[in-house]
Amino acid sequence: SDVYKRQEEIVLLKNQARDKFIPALCLFGTLHTYNVNEGDAQLQFGKMMPFFIDLANFVNKIFEVVKNMVRQLASLYHPQQKLYTSTFKQVHLKTVFEYLAELLQVLITLNEVIAQNEVLPNSLQAYKRMVTQVKKEPQKYGADDDNIVLLEKMLFRIGGLLDGLIFEECIKQEFDVPRFFEVKSNNIFKKEFMIIIQGFL
């Protein structure tokens, strides 16, 4: 099943979060805790732009894996699924659900780390002000409209990561696909989900 194939991928994502993204987010701004001027904040954030783009791609990847796993599990635990009636009706895939929970925990941890870093939103706002100034006088700064529009799109995407809603946005994804994946109205899947959650408590 694709569900099991995702487990190795989840381990890699967890390691990537632990080794690359969480430490960098924790350390961002620690060298300039006090009296950070506008220029320093802009420079620091500008240097980290590639990192934030990587972070956005990383979060999107987790969203995709979570969506895929939920859909696959909902397909297995479905009254019209022959495998359910023959096999999975009596089977609880606790390990698979544990991997899913660990992946969601990564998003919760990212939210918490970002929320604890007061420098991040201030640096983002400073960088946005700089971009606004450049947009007013692009010739002065040697910029063109296409590059500015691209930069604004990147900043909008990064801003979405720093608003503390990464986990919430993930679980609010559209999991249902008519005639293919039934999640919200799948009572058997909901029941199985609750059994697993109660087992965790």
Residue 91 has pLDDT above 60, yes or no: yes
Percent of the chain clearing pLDDT 90 (strictly above): 47
SS3 21: helix
47 vs 29: CA distance, rounded Å:
12
Looking at per-residue pLDDT, the higher value among 86 and 137 belongs to: 137
Give mean pLDDT, residues 179-184.
89
Residue 99 has pLDDT above 50, yes or no: yes
Percent of the chain clearing pLDDT 70 (strictly above): 91
Residue 58 has pLDDT above 70, yes or no: yes
Give mean pLDDT, residues 36-64.
89
What pLDDT shows up at residue 76?
84
pLDDT digits (tens, 9 = 90+) for 68-79: 999 988 888 887
What pLDDT shows up at residue 34?
47
Q: Is 126 exposed, middle or buried (0-12, 13-18, 19+ CB in 10 A)?
A: buried
Residues with Cβ within 8 Å of 13's Cβ and at least 6 positions away in sequence, in order, are: 58, 61, 62, 65, 103, 106
Give mean pLDDT, residues 152-180.
92
> C-alpha distances in angstroms, 49 versus 21, 53, 84, 127, 187?
13, 6, 47, 10, 44
What's the pTM value of the predicted model, to 2 decimals? 0.87
Residue 98 has pLDDT above 50, yes or no: yes
Residues with Cβ within 8 Å of 45's Cβ and at least 6 positions away in sequence, in order, are: 123, 124, 126, 127
What pLDDT shows up at residue 17?
97
Q: What angle do CA 170, 47, 154 make, to 5 degrees?
A: 40
Residue 166: name the closest of 59, 17, 92 by CA. 59
Looking at per-residue pLDDT, the higher value among 107 and 164 belongs to: 107
Give mean pLDDT, residues 97-123.
93
